[in-house]
Amino acid sequence: MNEEIINVSMELIATSGNAKSLALSAINIAKNGNIKEALKMILEAKVELNKVHNIHGDLIAKEASGKKLDISLLFIHSQDHLTSAIIIIDLAEHFIDLYNKLNF
């Protein structure tokens, strides 16, 4: 397996995991009534997610320029982490909005 794909996959998994953790923490913080802090954490999660999108975009650009990528199960797994991070952040925003409405 290509070492570049292994390294990129691990970076995608770790950074997506950070984004998910921040988003889940934001839900708990909002649940406790601190909406401002929860929204701040969502912004941090989106910064992490943006890092993942940049890494992913670089791979797409390489492939589009003709560089053959050695796709592995590990890389596919990293894509699952990216997808779940996107979904969790989206849902966290909805939960925060809901907790905000319930607190008023």
Catalytic residues: 77
Distance (Å, whole) CA 54 – CA 62? 12
Position 22, amino acid: L
Q: Side chain identity at 6, as an amino acid letter?
A: I
> Interior CA angle at 96 toward 57 and 32, to 5°?
130
Name which of 58, 80, 65 is nearest 5 in CA terms: 58
User: What's the rounded Cα separation, in Å, for the pair 80 and 74?
Assistant: 10
